[in-house]
């Protein structure tokens, strides 16, 4: 495996020094040009007064025994400009929950119809999880007659970036973001087709939340809700190119599903009324999340608060997106 570079190449250091001199001379146009060149080479310059430091802009993309491990979503070859070639894509992130992942894969294998693609983002998984994603593993047995596709990362990426990496490989007309804490006990994808036949519906799932404002969203039986839970969150593939990608600043998953649900409902045209989020009765069972939990509780809480503020920043002026104002 090619190691991640610990220090920038000499030519990048030279560009950074030249940029520092340009800033000292108040030649900020030249400094901006040099910054773009540094970032295009995969480095980020962090200013510290008159000094600076360089750090990798993203983990490296490397090849390890014939397997490409991606350091960012952008290095994953995209299929999104091609026509959909499957009915459904179910996308899962695999990190530290091998038993939970095996359970949902088993349910998908038993129940989903033909034309379903299963995508797994192996997000720098734990050794046990990585072993169960190795070629020939029972967990990678075909689903709907097709082997699951695995996208490997070279480092643990933030949740939104990891999902973006998988979304670039999606072939299904309908994409489902699924969580390993859910168990599939029947065909939970075919009912999505009828729901999306209604153009007023933007996002569909098995579990939803609603409330009078963004600070007070609670689980709701629906069917109309304000946002869909990411344990089973479905949307049209075409929306990824018009409204995506997911905001990479969502490092953890908390509030990311609410943010994406509201993005989908708001749509691209601000002059149109919000579209619907629809909770369906689907053959799904939620379990307590097993496996390792990372990062630590205090850090998870900090990231959750930061994610919530990103939701507020985007949607604080869209009272029409919560049921307290829309009367839904």
Q: What mean pLDDT comes out for the span 232-242?
A: 97
pLDDT tens per residue, range 282-323: 999 999 875 545 556 778 888 999 999 999 999 999 999 998
Residue 170 domain-assigned (yes or no): yes
Residue 308 domain-assigned (yes or no): no
Tell me: do 164 and 284 sit in the same domain.
yes
Residue 145 domain-assigned (yes or no): yes
Domain that holds residue 42: 10-56
pLDDT at 290: 58
- Convert the chain into a string of H (helix), E (strand) and C (coil): CCCCCCCCCHHHHHHHHHHHHHHHCCCHHHHHHHHHHHHHCCEEEEEECCEEEEEECCCCCEEECCEEEECCHHHCCCCCCCCCCEEEEEEEEECCCHHHHHHHHHHHHHHCCCCEEEEEEECCCCHHHHHCCCCCCHHHCCECCECCEEEEECCCCCHHHHHHHHHCCCCEEEEEEECCCEEECCCCCHHHHHHHCCCCEEEEECCEEEEEECCEEEEECCCEECEECCCEEEEECHHHHHHCCCCCCCCCCCCHHHHHHHHHHHCCCCCCCCCEEEECCCCEEECCCCCCCCCCHHHHHHHHHHHHHHHHHHHCCCHHHCHHHHCC
Residue 143 has pLDDT above 80, yes or no: yes
pLDDT at 51: 86
Residue 113 domain-assigned (yes or no): yes
pLDDT band at residue 325 using 50, 70 and 90 as cut-offs: very low
Domains of the chain: total: 2
pLDDT at 64: 83
pLDDT at 6: 56
């Amino acid at each position: 495996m090619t190691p991640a570079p610990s220090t920038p190449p000499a030519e990048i250091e030279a560009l950074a020094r030249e940029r520092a001199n340009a800033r000292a001379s108040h030649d900020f146009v030249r400094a901006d040009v040099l910054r773009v060149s540094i970032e295009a080479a995969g480095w980020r310059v962090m200013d510290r007064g008159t000094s600076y430091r360089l750090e990798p802009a993203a983990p490296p993309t490397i090849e390890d025994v014939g397997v490409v491990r991606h350091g960012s979503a952008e290095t994953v070859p995209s299929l999104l400009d091609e026509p959909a070639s499957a009915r459904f894509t179910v996308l899962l992130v695999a990190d530290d929950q091998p038993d939970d992942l095996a359970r949902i894969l088993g349910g998908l294998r038993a129940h989903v119809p033909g034309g379903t693609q299963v995508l797994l983002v192996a997000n720098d998984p734990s050794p046990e999880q990585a072993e169960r994603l190795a070629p020939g593993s029972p967990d990678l047995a075909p689903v709907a007659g097709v082997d699951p596709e695995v996208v490997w990362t070279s480092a643990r990426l933030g949740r939104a970036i990891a999902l973006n990496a998988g979304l670039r490989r999606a072939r299904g007309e309908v994409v489902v973001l699924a969580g390993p804490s859910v168990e599939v006990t029947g065909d939970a994808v075919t009912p999505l087709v009828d729901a999306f036949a209604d153009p007023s519906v933007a996002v569909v799932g098995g579990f939803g939340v609603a409330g009078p404002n963004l600070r007070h969203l609670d689980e709701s039986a629906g069917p109309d809700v304000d946002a869909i839970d990411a344990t089973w969150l479905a949307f049209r593939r075409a929306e990824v190119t018009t409204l995506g990608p997911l905001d990479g600043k969502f490092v953890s998953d908390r509030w990311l599903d609410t943010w994406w649900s509201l993005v989908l409902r708001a749509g691209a045209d601000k002059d149109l009324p919000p579209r619907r989020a629809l909770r369906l009765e689907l053959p799904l069972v939620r379990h307590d999340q097993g496996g390792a939990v990372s990062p630590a509780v205090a850090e998870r809480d900090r990231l959750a608060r930061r994610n919530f503020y990103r939701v507020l920043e985007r949607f604080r002026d869209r009272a029409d997106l919560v049921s307290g104002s829309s009367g839904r």
